[in-house]
Structure 1
Amino acid sequence: MDVVFLVARILFVLIFAASAIGHIAKADDMAGYAKFKGAPGGKFGVIFSGITLGAGALMVLLGIFGDIGALLIAATLIPITFFMHAYWKESDAQAKQGDQIMFNKNVALIGGALAFFLLFAMTAANLGLTITGPAISLS
């Protein structure tokens, strides 16, 4: 079961690690798009969200306070989802459909992050293949 949990963590964090790299490497381009979408924060917000997604991904992947890492991912995704993928504001049908798909994907990823939080916090040291136990113990 330890290996299955490790594989699940690897697969889960791939999207966030890639996104973090993109946020930092293409911060100017992403800041322009965020401004177009009406998201606050500008370039700082783009870089900050890249750092938080990257840090959360590493924490979940390595099992270093994975519960906090999972919460960091969820907390970062919530405003991104509502600012960047507000499909209900779109008048163009194609843009609306694309944003709705991205909105739904992010909602599912938030749910996954919360499930990882719960797994880390409930099972504590019984997970195996982690560097630390959880910061929050719900067991």
Structure 2
Amino acid sequence: MDVVVLIGRILFALLFLGSGFGHLTQTDAMAAYTASKGVPAAKAGVLVSGVMLIVGGLSVLLGVWADLGSLILLVFVLPAAFLMHAFWKESDAQAKQGEMVHFNKDVALGGAALMLFAFFAHNSDLGLTITGPLFHLG
């Protein structure tokens, strides 16, 4: 079971790590896109969110306070869904559909991050991790 959980953590974290590196290596392009969505302080937001993605992704991947890493990722994806993928604001049907897919993906990833948080914070035997949880739930 430990190996299955590790594989799941790797697959989950890879998405966030790739995106985080993109935020930090393509900051200007991402900031321009973010600004086009009406997000204030776009460049700072892109840099901060890039760090959040890398820290959260590495935490889950390596099992270093993976419960905290899961919360960090949750704090990124839910606001991103509403700020960056507001499909209800789109008038073009194709653009609306694309934004709806991204919105739903972010909400689902938020749900997965929340479940991971609960899993890590509730279980004392986490298997293949470097540290135990930072938080402890019942």
TM range (shorter): over 0.9
Q: Which residue of 2 aligns with 1:22?
A: 22
1:69 Cα offset (Å): 0.2
1:69-97 CA-partner distances (Å, limit 9, x unpaired): 00000001111110100000001111110
Query: Which TM-score applies when normalising by structure 2?
Result: 0.98
Runs of 4+ in 1 over 6 A off after TM superposition: none
1:128 Cα offset (Å): 0.9
1:30 Cα offset (Å): 0.4
Confirm or deny that 1:42 pairs with 2:42: yes
Q: Which residue of 2 aligns with 1:135?
A: 134
Q: In the aligned structure 2, how far is the partner of 1:34 from the partner of 1:17?
A: 19
Q: Which residue of 1 aligns with 2:63?
A: 63
1:112 Cα offset (Å): 0.4
Q: In the aligned structure 1, how far is the partner of 2:12 from the partner of 2:39?
A: 25
Q: In the aligned structure 2, how far is the partner of 1:60 from the partner of 1:30?
A: 24
RMSD: 0.7
Identity over aligned pairs, percent = 53
Q: How many residues align?
A: 138
Query: Which TM-score applies when normalising by structure 1?
Result: 0.97
Q: How does 1:1-12 map to 2 (within 5 A)?
A: 1-12=1-12
**Structure 2: 5+ residue runs without aligned partners?**
none
SS in structure 2 at match of 1:52: helix
Q: In the aligned structure 2, how far is the partner of 1:95 from the partner of 1:15?
A: 23
Q: In the aligned structure 2, how far is the partner of 1:77 from the partner of 1:9?
A: 17
